[in-house]
Amino acid sequence: MKSVDSLIVGGSAAGTTAAEVIRSLKPESSITIVTDENHEQYSRVLLPHYIRHKVTREQGFLKKPEWYQDKLIELIKGTKVTKLDSKGHKVTLSSGEEYQYGKLLIAIGGYVVKLKVPGADLTNILYMRTIEDADRIIEAASKSKKAVIVGGGFIGLEFCSGFKMNGVEEVTVLVREPYYWEGKLDEESSKVLVNTLGKNGVTVLVNEEVEKFVGDGKVKSVVTKSGKTFEVDVVGVGIGIKSNLSWLEGSGIEINRAIVTNEYLETNLPDVYAAGDCAEFYDVTFDRKHIMGNWANATSQGSAVGKTMAGVKTVFETASSYSINFFDGSCLFIGVTDDKFADEVISRGSVGGDKMTRIFVKTIDGSMRIVGATIINNPAEVSPLTSAVKGKVDIASSREKLADPNFDLKNLIS
């Protein structure tokens, strides 16, 4: 059995950032990263840019083998952790090896949720998560004329632009909800987004759920539960991700929607931490348990937990934001965009004007604050709203003006 001071399970944004921070603070400590991928760290954020030929495949890789050697960080690739013995401070790898750890960080991210319908194993039914996925998308799309995308959200939008940029002529999006991105957007915001897709040759059909895929080894058509059939050359699926936490069974770790941590990203087990997509952390900014599955958040959490693991106890505190540019449109989320969390939601903009912003307002400790915002096709409002959320600005005096599109949001922070 090998022994290591800091063992990190997961080699992407949170895990690699944590390793780098630990090394900077503890030059003599031993660090091992275990990743189930066969690569050094690459950027998942850059995958859509690679698919759209904005960056090369090589540019997507953030770390070279030499970086790990120079930092004296052991990288074990293509390997999963299969068991955690928290009492013995050790883990078992899929290779059969055992590692004893001083401190353990779980930063495993997530895997794509796959459709479980007849024909789902046909070729050219594609997902977007890994560099290999991106390779397959480029190859298949460049030879295709008709595509169906199953699911909305960020991945659906990335598939839309990625397919179009690779020469797919006819793109249809199927969503099972009454409108695109229900649960994250209101219907008016969704209309603005869908109108942008329509102007760029993408058709969105709602209340449509896949019944089966049909083909002869390769997908040829998509059949929906409503009885519609779509002839296709390629299919893109984006219905969410989840973390594989089955290997933690019997370890005693607390799991709710994800691995539960406090504001220091500490779990209920001694010397065990969690960060990134697999962590449900206590958010001190908004006084709630929260999961934030995006690259920027994972990097920030990796930095904070790396300091804590190295002995510099650090609260993770942020107001997250994540965004996408698709064709000539944009969509951005800031902070907490949950109708149930906010006291009220204020809309500004219109479908006719091709812009829509929703502002989530909540009174916390006697201060009326903007706790989140969704911004569709209105980039000028991103900076002031981000500053208002992060600065915990009391906006009570401006509350009645927020719905007026002529009110300059810069006045909130001036």
Q: Domain ranges for the chain, please list them.
A: 2-110+243-309, 114-240, 328-412
User: In CATH terms, is domain 328-412 a member of 3.30.390.30?
Assistant: yes
Question: Angle at the Cα of 234 (from 232 to 237), degrees rounded to 5?
Answer: 115
Instruction: Give the residue from 374, 285, 272 showing the smallest Cα distance to 323.
Output: 374
- The CATH number, out of the four listed (3.30.70.270, 3.90.700.10, 3.40.50.2300, 3.50.50.60), of the domain defined by the range 2-110+243-309: 3.50.50.60
DSSP 67: H
Whether this prediction's pTM lies above 0.85 is answered by: yes
* Architecture of the domain delimited by 114-240: 3-Layer(bba) Sandwich (3.50)
2-110+243-309 and 114-240, same CATH topology: yes
* pLDDT at position 292: 83
Residues 6 or more apart whose CB falls under 8 angstroms from that of 90 comprise: 1, 98, 99, 100, 101
Tokens of 170: 């006819």
308: number of Cβ within 10 Å: 22
In whole angstroms, how far apart are CA 338 and each of 119, 133, 290, 367?
Answer: 36, 31, 11, 19
Residue type, 188: E
pLDDT string in tens for the chain (414-residue length): 999 999 999 999 999 999 999 999 999 999 999 999 999 999 999 999 999 999 999 999 999 999 999 999 999 999 999 999 999 999 999 999 999 999 999 999 889 999 999 999 999 999 999 999 999 999 999 999 999 999 988 999 999 999 999 999 999 999 999 999 998 999 999 999 999 999 999 999 999 999 999 999 999 999 999 999 999 999 999 999 999 999 999 999 999 999 999 999 999 999 999 999 999 999 998 888 988 878 889 999 999 999 999 999 999 998 888 899 999 999 999 999 999 999 999 999 999 999 999 999 999 989 999 999 999 999 999 999 999 999 999 999 999 999 999 999 999 887
400: number of Cβ within 10 Å: 10
Give Dmax (Cα) for the chain: 66
User: Measured on CA atoms in the order 188, 288, 257, 317, is the torsion positive or negative?
Assistant: positive
